[in-house]
A and B are shown apart, each in its own frame.
Chain A
């Protein structure tokens, strides 16, 4: 019953709002968790594509190092850029043709299916939803569901139309 008097701000306590906390990220603690995630990723890749974890291991090890370096940069570089942005930039850098080892990296990560690597994150995502999030979704009602769908269609189609226009102009 006490829950009924909770304000939405109380429900928000569990929401992931502390993105900036990456500045205080514990790189060593994350290294261990990342190892678990990579192991599950290798198995997802194995079941999904039939590629043995041993074949895919060098590629996964490379991605692991890229992630750790990216997290460390997010932690120590004196301006804010999210960890995922750093990780992406490093991954791009080490695969640009001409960069030493780029061909090897591209060949190794080819053994990993991109979609299989996302499966573990979504499983954690489903398990991580808290009662608050279900409550917010329920309390917001059907109007919010319609608006949310319009928002998703809007952001996608808005980008599609602009991108298509400028691709045509560029030709």
Chain B
């Protein structure tokens, strides 16, 4: 009975709700909180995400009355659609800076390998400090966004320890990734050690919201370098889109597997 009209009004409510959240978030605007080692920067995208969670039907039961399961599903589809104009705008910052991008070319390409830093930092913590099992392989081999998660699903299945690890980092990253990527770059910049161009090109990690948070935080901290920050971040993000899956498949995952077998030789013998 409520079939088609129900779906249509659910979709309408969804877009109106998003519009309201967007207006409130933009009205609050960028806020800065100075702390000892730098400045924590709060961005409208953070409020938008937090407000979205607050009225999410899975959290706030009253929302379920007008936001159907289909509306929530549509919302998921709308993320990829709504991030497109942002990605396009980001691309337009590259063209005018193309000569500076080419100048930074070698650094730009090689920093993609820096994404293996996930293994360097997170693997020892997971295996030696937290004593995690094979979950650690899925959890630490990459930043576990959608393509990386798909690779784990394909290789081990999500119903495996590796799958559980990857999904845990995926879900956690979805919940707090925007926050972490908004506060980290201004603080690292505050250390005064690194070239701002290096900080900018490292923002391209293959996730639209993390890219937005990272560059937003960096531009708020170094506003006079805005053009080059955006251009380098955009270029690096495209490189990650193009190479991320392959680096994961041929380098990061085999490397993590090898490290795990070295770290836990007894488990390997038990398997064989």
Contact = CB atoms under 8 A, between A and B. Distances in A.
A95 B92 contact: yes
A94 B188 contact: no
A12 B164 CA distance: 10
Contact of A130 (B72, B80, B215): B72
Nearest to A118: B212
Interface stretch (B32-40, B119-127, B260-268): B119-127
Most B CB contacts (10 A, CB to CB) among A87, A95, A118 go to A118
Contacts of A151: 118, 121-122, 139-140, 142-144, 169, 173
B26 A48 contact: yes
Given A16-B76, A95-B92, A163-B110, A122 B45 contact: yes
Contacts, number: 438
Interface residues of A, number: 104
Contacts of B68: none
B114 interface: yes
Contacts of B170: 15, 136
Given A129-B53, A144-B165, A157 B117 contact: yes
Contact of B78 (A60, A124, A150): A124
Looking at chain B, what size class is its interface with the partner chain? 35 or more
What does DSSP make chain B's interface, helix, strand, loop or mixed? helix
Interface string A98-116: 0100100110010010111
Contact of A128 (B72, B158, B169): B72
Contacts of A168: 195
B91 A87 contact: yes
A67 B107 contact: no
B46 to A, nearest CB: 8
Given A152-B181, A155-B115, A166-B106, A64 B85 contact: yes
Interface in B110-157: 110-122, 125-126, 130, 132, 135-136, 139-140, 142-144, 146-147, 149-150, 153, 157
A90 to B, nearest CB: 7
Contact of B242 (A34, A81, A94): A81
A134 B209 contact: no
What does DSSP make chain A's interface, helix, strand, loop or mixed? helix
A28 interface: no
Contacts of B251: none
Given A159-B111, A162-B113, A123 B18 contact: yes
Contact of B26 (A119, A134, A170): A119
B76 A128 contact: yes
Interface in A34-51: 34, 36-38, 40-41, 43-44, 47-48
A159 B98 contact: no
B79 A128 contact: yes
Contact of A123 (B49, B120, B201, B210): B49
Interface string A128-162: 11110110110110011111111111111111111
Given A37-B84, A124-B75, A164-B194, A136 B167 contact: yes
B87 A127 contact: no
Contacts of A66: 88, 91
Given A88-B234, A117-B85, 8 more contacts: A16-B76, A95-B96, A118-B86, A121-B86, A121-B208, A122-B212, A126-B55, A159-B111
10 contacts: A81-B242, A88-B90, A88-B238, A94-B95, A95-B95, A120-B18, A121-B86, A124-B76, A129-B58, A152-B180
For the complex of A and B, the 6 pairs showing the least CB-CB separation, nearest first, are A158-B117, A126-B52, A91-B91, A95-B95, A140-B168, A154-B121
